Amino acid sequence: MEFNNLIYQKQGEIAVLSINRPKALNALNEELLQELNIAIDKICVDKEINVLILTGEGKSFVAGADITQMQKKTSDEARNFAELGMKVFRKIELMDTPVIAAVNGFALGGGCELALACDIRLASSKAKFGQPEVGLGITPGFGGTQRLPRIIGEAKAKELIFTGSMVDAETAKNIGLVNNVFEPDTLLDEAFKLAKKIAANGSLSVKYSKAAINKGLQMDLDSAMELEKDLFALCFASEQQKEGMAAFVEKRKPNFK
């Protein structure tokens, strides 16, 4: 896959998509979001891929939506722009494959929102997180007001969004915004390690677990339990369940296909 603003690599079951607009600190413009949309569509239909790592080139993960492109927008144009980003981020959130954000630097505004749409966030010790939109006279617009409180809780989310303050990676870890922090030069290796650990499991059961969590969180508990039961039962119609349990009984490592 060739793009102007993305670098795509595939290593076996693991795909890496790197935002590549370093001159503008990987700020998200419409072209980049359209490319991201196409890349995600292609990854979704590639049955070989079991984990996606999302990262950024240079010193930034993503420093937000492109302010120069947003500056002159009318309300209608701004709504369309928000809708485009929301659509792509939702696709990332709901895709079958788990997505790890390897946050290598600034994750601000739309960049923080992109990381929030991923399943797991790992950060470089140099990463900085924040929702600085109110300082620009706007609100977050790619889901930040919704995902941030769901992930770190209402009070902390309100503090971050109302102040527009940046937090460093350690603070982000302490408030539950990132899963783990690593030295900058080991971040991608650590993301791969995690990806491989996930990919060594039954891919179907990982995908069903992601669906159960994401969909279940939007349901009442009883309906969500029904969903879990259905997906659990569905596993028993798969070769992977047969292999996983046979391997346990035969005291060997499973060989999932």
Q: Which residues are catalytic?
A: 113, 133
Q: How far is the CB of 151 from ligand HXC (least distance, A)?
A: 17
What is the size of the binding site for ligand HXC (CB under 6 A)? 22
* One residue of 82, 123, 172, 178 binding ligand HXC per CB under 6 A: 82
CB of 142 to ligand HXC, least distance (A): 4
Non-local CB neighbours of 178 within 8 Å, separated by 6+ positions: 103, 121, 122, 123, 127, 129, 169, 172
Length of the chain: 257
Span from 38-46, 105-113, 146-154, 221-229 in contact with ligand HXC (CB under 6 A): 105-113
64 binds ligand HXC (CB under 6 A): yes
* Residue 112 and residue 105 in contact, taking contact as beta carbons nearer than 8 Å: no
Least Å from the CB of residue 182 to ligand HXC? 21
Of 119 and 133, which has the nearer Cβ to ligand HXC?
133
Q: What is the nearest approach in angstroms of ligand HXC to the Cβ of residue 205? A: 35
Site for ligand HXC, residues 137 to 156, rule: CB under 6 A: 140-142
Pattern of binders to ligand HXC over 7-36, x per CB under 6 A? -----------------xx-x---------
Q: Whose Cβ is closer to ligand HXC: residue 43's or residue 102's?
A: 102
Residue at 88: amino acid letter? V
DSSP 119: S
110 or 202: CB nearest ligand HXC: 110
Applying CB under 6 A, among 35, 57, 66, 119 the residue interacting with ligand HXC is: 66
DSSP code, position 109: T
User: Closer to ligand HXC at the Cβ: 24 or 100?
Assistant: 24
What are the start-end ranges of the H helices in 27-168? 30-45, 67-70, 75-94, 110-117, 144-152, 154-163
Q: HEC states along 243-254?
A: HHHHHHHCCCCC
Site string for ligand HXC, 107-136 (x = CB under 6 A): -xxx---------------------xx--x
Residue 68 in contact with ligand HXC, rule: CB under 6 A: yes
What is the C-alpha separation between 143 and 115, in angstroms, rounded? Answer: 11
Contact (Cβ atoms closer than 8 angstroms) between residue 15 and residue 196: no
CB contact burial 192-211 (16+ within 10 A = b; e otherwise):
bebbeebbeebbbbbbbbbe
CA geometry: angle 247, 253, 257, nearest 5 deg? 80
Residues that bind ligand HXC (CB under 6 A): 24-25, 27, 63-68, 81-82, 85, 106, 108-110, 132-133, 136, 140-142
